[in-house]
Amino acid sequence: MATVELQHVTKRFGDVLAVNDLNLKIKDQEFLVFVGPSGCGKTTALRMVAGLEQQSGGNIYIGDRLVNDVAPKDRDIAMVFQNYALYPHMNVEQNLAFGLKLRHVGKAEIKRRIDGAAQILALGHLLKRRPRELSGGQRQRVAVGRAIVREPAAFLMDEPLSNLDAKLRIQTRAEIQKLHQRIRTTTIYVTHDQVEAMTMGERIAVMHDGILQQLDTPEALYERPANLFVAGFIGSPAMNFFKGKIVGTPDAPLVDVGLFSVAVPSPQRAAASRALGSEVVYGVRPEHMFVRDGSSPEGVTVEAKVEVVEYLGYEEQVYCSLDSTSFNVRLPAQMRTHVGGRIPLTIPKDRGHVFDAKTEQALAA
Amino acid sequence: MARASSERVMPAEAGRERASAAAPVPIVSRIGGAVGQLFEHEWVFGYTMIAPAILYIVLLVAYPFFVALRFTVTSASVSEPIASFVGLRNFVDIWNDDIFRRALINTFVFTISSQVIQAFLGTILAFLLLRPFRGRRVVRALFIIPFTVPVAIGAITWSWMLNPQYSVLNWVGSHIGLFPAPGPNWLGEEQLAMISVIVVNVWRGLPFTTILLMAGITAVPQEIIEAAALDAAGFFRRWNDIIVPIIAPILFIALLFSFVSQFTDMTVVWLLTRGNPVNTTHVLASYAFEVGIVSGDLGRGAAISLFLFPVLLVAAIVMLRYLKSQQLD
Ligand SMILES: Nc1ncnc2c1ncn2[C@@H]1O[C@H](COP(=O)(O)OP(=O)(O)OP(=O)(O)O)[C@@H](O)[C@H]1O
Ligand SMILES: [Mg+2]
C-alpha cells in the first residue's frame, strides 16, 4: 500500500494538451475518483500513473519512489481496464494466475490468492470458464480479481463499470466500495459519471480540459463548488444560473439578477462586500427551492410559470420560466403541479452560490 | 382518375386483362415481371445466384481434375491421344525415376524452408513496421513492391542478378572482397541453385506473410497487450503467451493455405532454373509440367502432379473442418 503523488504532470499529444500541470496526492488507503466530461484527460492521467503513457513533464511518485522511468510492470500497480482486457484464450483461473506466475510467486501462494479472490468476488464456480463464456458482470469481476491477486500498492480503474447495464452498475458500484473497505488498497478510479464519483469517492478530482478544477470530498464539492464548471457538473439536474450584479451595502450585499434580488449567502458575504458593483453569476440547485407555504425558510419568492413537468413518482422535476429565463426545480410529487400554472417559488437565503462572472471562480469565503 | 379507381375495386384478374387490352405493356417489362415473379421463390433465386460459381467449378476445376485423374492410369501422350489403360504403370515408373524422387524431396525442402524463413522474418518485420518511426509509410510502401510486381518480371530480374556473367551481386561481392573475382555460380551449382530458388521465393512471399501478421497483431486489442505488460510479460512472453494464441486461428489458416499453394507452385523454379542444373532443382509441379506438357507424356505428368494429392486433400479437409468449428464457436 502506498501514496501516489503527481507533481506538475503534463501530457501533450502533438498540439493537444491532454493533461495540464496536474498536482495531486492520493493518500495511503484512499479511494480517489477522477471525474470530468469526455476528453478531459482522466484516462491519460491514469495511464501515466500506470506507466503506459510517458508524461511530457512533471514527476510521479508511488510511495516514496520516483517512477518516471520505471517500467509499468515494476510500478507495483494493477489496472482494471474499461473493456476488462481479459486474456480470451485462458480460463478465469489462468487469467488470475498469469501475472503471478511471471512474478515467480510460488504455486501454493498462487492458489491461496486465487481462492481468496474467488471467495471475495464469488468467482469460485467460474474458475474453469473462458471469458467468452461469462456475462458482462462476471467478466468485470474477473478483471477486478486479476488486480486483487497481485496485491499491489495501488489499483487503477478506468471506467470499469461503463459496460454494465444500469442495474448491475449500481450493484457492482456497491461491491467495489465494500471491497475497498475490506482490503483498503489505495485506488484511483476514473469515471465520467458524477453520480458514480459522488457515491464512491472519498475524495474527487474534478477535471476539465486537462486541468484539475477542484479536489475535495463529495460534500465539499456539492456545498462549496470552487467554480462555475464544478457547480454545473456536480449535481443532477444541474444547478440553475442567473446573471447578475452585486448591489446593496457592504453590510448587506445583494445579488440583483434583474427579476429578483437575493441576499448573498453568509459564507460569501465578506467577499461580496468588497466587490460591490461587479458582474456575477448566481447559482442555486433545483432541489434547494421550495413552493412557499407557512413553514418555508427565509428567502426571496418569485412567481414562476410552469412549462414542463416530469413526474418521477417520488418527486417531480419542474421546468419553470421567469420572463425569458428558464430554470428547473425538484418538488415533492404530491405537489401536483399544473403545466401553464404559476407557482410561488422560494429561493432560501443561504443556499445560493455566487461566482465572479469573469473568472468563473466562486467568490472567496 | 375515376376509371383507375373503379378498376382498383374490380377483381385482380379482370383488372389485369383490361389493363393489357387497353395499353399493351412493353414486352421487356413483361418478361422482367415474369422473371421477377420467379425470383420470389427462394430456391430459384438462390440457385440462379450460385450458378456462375458452380459452372466455373465444374468446367474449370472438376472436369480437368477428372481428366487428369484418368490420365494417371493411361498411356496418354501428345502423340497418342487415344490412350490405353496401363493401371499403375505410371506411378511405378515415376517412383523409379531419380529426378522424380529428387523433385519430391525438393518440394518438401522448398516448401518447409520457405515457410519457416517467411514466418520468422515476417514476424520480425511485422513488429518493426508496426512501430512508429520516421518515414514508416515510405518503407511500408517499398516493402510491398515484391508483392505487386508480376512474378515473371521479378524472377527475370533475379535471374539477371544471379547470372554468372552479369551478376550485380558477384560484382559487388568481389569488389568488397567477399569472395574472389568471378564469384559463385548461383544458378549453376546444385545447392546454390536450390538456395537461390528458396531465397527468391521468400522474397516474393514475405510481404504477404508480413502483412498478414501485421493484421493479426493489430487485431489483438491494445488493452490486452497492456494488461499483459502490467502482468510483467516481456516482449517474448507477450508474443508467445498472448498474441500467438489469440491470432492462432488466422495463423493456422494462413499456414495451411500457403503450404498447400507452395506444394503445387512451380513459378519461381520454372522461371529461375527450369529445374536445372541437371534436373536437381525440380519440384513436383515443375517436373510434372516438364514431363507432361514439355515432353508430352500426359499420363506420367498427371501421375507426378497428383502424387501428393492425398496429402493435400487431408490438409484441405482439416482446414475446412477447422474453419467450420471456428464459425460455430
Ligand atoms: N494517443 C493519443 N493521441 C492523440 N491524442 C490523444 C491520445 N490519447 C488521448 N488523446 C487526447 O487527449 C485528450 C484526453 O483524452 P483522454 O482519453 O484522457 O480523455 P478521457 O477524460 O479519458 O475521456 P473519456 O471520458 O471519453 O474516456 C483528448 O482530447 C484526446 O483526444
Ligand atoms: Mg477515458
For chain B, which residues make up each domain, given as ranges? 2-40, 89-328
Residues with CB under 6 A from ligand 1: A 13, 16, 18, 36, 38-44, 192
- The whole-number pLDDT of residue A117 equals 92
Instruction: Dig out the grid coordinates for B239 from the structure.
Output: 508474443
Rg (CA), chain A: 25
Distance from CA of A45 to the nearest CA of B (A): 16
Per-chain mean pLDDT for chain B: 82
Nearest CA to ligand 1 atom 3: A13
For an interface test with B, give the residue of A74, A83, A96 to mutate (most B CBs within 10 A): A83
* Alpha-carbon distance values, A95 to A87, A114, A134, A158, B233 (Å): 6, 10, 13, 19, 13
Question: In angstroms, rounded to a whole number, what is the distance separating the alpha carbons of residues B271 and B284?
Answer: 15
Amino acid identity, residue B318? V
- Would the pTM count as exceeding 0.95? no
Beta strands A342-348; A290-291: pairing state: antiparallel
Put simply, whether A232 touches B (Cβ < 8 Å) is no
* Alpha-carbon distance values, B160 to B163, B166, B169 (Å): 5, 7, 10
What is the arithmetic mean of pLDDT over B172-201?
A: 82
Nearest-atom number in ligand 1 for the CA of A45 is: 18
Contacts of B103 (CB under 8 A, 6+ apart): B275, B279, B282, B283, B284, B286, B287, B304
Per-chain mean pLDDT for chain A: 92
**pLDDT 10s digits, A258-270:** 888 999 998 999 9
CATH topology of domain B89-328: MetI-like fold (1.10.3720)
Contact A18, A10 (CB under 8 A): no
**pLDDT 10s digits, B92-126:** 888 898 999 999 999 999 999 999 999 999 999 99
Among candidates B223, B233, B241 on the partner chain, residue whose Cβ is nearest the Cβ of A81: B223
- Give the helix/strand (H/E) hosting A114: helix A107-121
Question: In angstroms, rounded to a whole number, what is the distance separating the alpha carbons of residues B144 and B40?
Answer: 46
- Cell numbers 471491497 correspond to what residue? A179
Domains and CATH numbers, chain A: 4-232 (3.40.50.300), 240-356 (2.40.50.140)
**pLDDT 10s digits, B121-131:** 999 999 898 88
Indicate if the pLDDT at residue A87 is higher than 60. yes
- The whole-number pLDDT of residue B26 equals 63
Which range of B4-18, B155-169, B191-205 scores highest in mean pLDDT? It is: B191-205
ipTM: 0.85
* Alpha-carbon distance values, A258 to A56, A105, A251, A360, B265 (Å): 48, 70, 21, 20, 87
Question: In angstroms, rounded to a whole number, what is the distance separating the alpha carbons of residues B115 and B291?
Answer: 27
Indicate if the pLDDT at residue B162 is higher than 90. no
Predicted confidence band of residue B25 (pLDDT cuts 50, 70, 90): low
- Of the listed ligands, the closest to the CA of A16 is 1
What is the arithmetic mean of pLDDT over A134-163?
A: 93
**pLDDT 10s digits, B212-239:** 899 888 989 999 999 999 999 999 999 9
Put simply, whether B230 touches A (Cβ < 8 Å) is yes
Indicate if the pLDDT at residue A236 is higher than 90. no
Contact pairs from chain A to chain B, CB under 8 Å? 55
For an interface test with A, give the residue of B223, B224, B231 to mutate (most A CBs within 10 A): B231
Contacts of B194 (CB under 8 A, 6+ apart): B106, B109, B110, B280, B281
Amino acid identity, residue A293? D
What is the arithmetic mean of pLDDT over B41-60?
A: 89
What is the arithmetic mean of pLDDT over A60-83?
A: 94
